[in-house]
Structure 1
Amino acid sequence: MVMATTASTAAHTSLASVTLEVADPGAARRFYSAFGVDTYIRLRASEAHSTGFRGFTLALTVSGPATVDSFVGAAAAAGATVLKPAAKSLWGYGGVVQAPDGTIWKIATSAKKDSGPATREIDEVVLLIGVQDVKATKEFYVGLGLSVAKSFGGKYAEFTPGHASPIKLALYKRRALAKDLGVPADGTGSHRIVLGGTAGAFTDQDGFAWEPAASLAPTPS
């Protein structure tokens, strides 16, 4: 396990940005624009070694099944691999895709029937990071100033989003997250994601790196 390190454990932080590390930023930018999520993420060139499950997913909550299908279809048409075709479940309707750069995205709705036509609107984006010990990691982030919005024992925790970020941060057991996404839980190397925060640079217990959000340049258009 990677030991958590902080510049100042007393500093207050919140998630302000999410940067994906990709081999080809230009190609990734074109994909994410076609997918319809380019305004939620930043991109950075990286050749960091990474194999298998990277330990996280970005989850989109949308209004209904037709909108889920719209996003899954747009991703597939732009080059994504469909890991789980959109389908009904006990909790609603959803599907899972993997972008050409390797990032896994889940698109879901709690609605089982459409109340209107498909849209390209996203109601919520959640960054789910897979961790070994949800309770310990939750306490680590609470110590850095994040506020818990939802918590279900040692299985799941969700933090109140900061004003600067359109993305919520949540914790899930790594193996449970991989199972939900339909991929093996094993993986090595870089997570290929950097979180921008309002505190100093640090790395949490599971190796997820944070850096000051102010140091991140805007994604070129």
Structure 2
Amino acid sequence: MATTASTAAVTSLASVTLEVADLPSARRFYRAFGVDTYVGLRASEAPSTGFRGFTLALTVSRPSIVDGFLGAAVDAGATVLKPAAKSFWGYSGVVQAPDGTIWKIATSEKKDTGPDTREIDEVVLLVGVEDVKATKEFYVGRGLTVAKSFGGKYAEFAAGQSSPVKLALYKRRALAKDLGVPVDGTGSHRVVLGGTAEAFTDPDGFAWQPAA
């Protein structure tokens, strides 16, 4: 979609809505997981197979909190895609919710310095795209402000005052590899991004709608 001077600016991501097949079950899961205040839910039967092209990432302060969120997710019905483990970057694990959404919980710390407080420092909607630079420019043209950028590999936008979730871009293939899933996927992304502008779709097929 071309961006013109008359296009209403988005300025920031205001909300994230997951489209789920079983709304009551999804509500129960996200309450138990402890992230229900960060995402909205709505019923959808849109066909979707394989990798949906995004993940929601929780950044927390220490490994015990990573373990706490992963345990809560699994107890509520999530599937482990990557068990929690130390890496060069810190400590993290990946799970897939019963509705199909993939969640990564991570900390830059490798040693515990306290108990599991279940506190979240940051939530990022990480979108897998074919061309990070092109999609970044598309969003800059729509009014978003770049907070971090690493060439054609990663871009992160500044969060709005009303949004609990940041938007970031990552190469689709690299994102799938990081999450431990095959890159292939078809059909709906099963996520709707809320903004301050009119409805539009980005170059990778992610739909935006005016936030409620």
Query: What TM-score comes out, normalization by structure 1 length?
Result: 0.93
CA offset at residue 10 of structure 1? 3.1
Partner of 1:44: 42
Match of 1:80 in 2: 78
Indicate if the aligned counterparts of 2:3 and 2:138 stay in contact, CA closer than 8 A: no
Unmatched segments (≥5 aa) in structure 2: none
1:114 — aligned with what? 112
Check if 1:62 corresponds to 2:60. yes
Is residue 10 of structure 1 aligned with residue 7 of structure 2?
yes
CA RMSD across the alignment: 1.2
Partner of 1:196: 194
Which deviations, in whole Å up to 9, do the C-alpha atoms of 1:16-40 show, x marking residues without a partner?
Answer: 0000000011100000000000000
Following superposition, the deviation at residue 180 of structure 1 comes to 0.1
d(CA) in 2 for partners of 1:149, 1:6: 21
Q: CA deviation at 1:78?
A: 0.4
Q: Distance in 1 between matches of 2:6 and 2:192?
A: 19
Distance 1:6 1:95, change over 3 A: same
In structure 2, the residue matched to 1:138 is: 136
* Match of residue 88 from structure 2: 90
CA distance in 2, matches of 1:151, 1:77: 36
Compute the displacement of 1:7 (Å). 9.2
Q: Does structure 1 residue 182 correspond to structure 2 residue 180? A: yes
Deviations 1:145-166 (CA, angstroms, capped at 9, x unpaired):
0000000000000000111100
In 2 relative to 1, CA 123–192 (structure 1 residues): closer, same or farther, beyond 3 Å?
same
Q: Secondary structure at the match of 1:69?
A: helix
Q: What count of residue pairs does the alignment treat as equivalent? A: 211
Distance 1:211 1:10 in 2: 14
Identity of aligned residues (%): 81
Q: What's 2:208 paired with? A: 210
Q: TM-score, normalised by structure 2?
A: 0.97
What runs of 5+ residues in structure 1 fail to find an aligned partner?
215-221
Matching residue within 159, 166, 189 for 1:168: 166
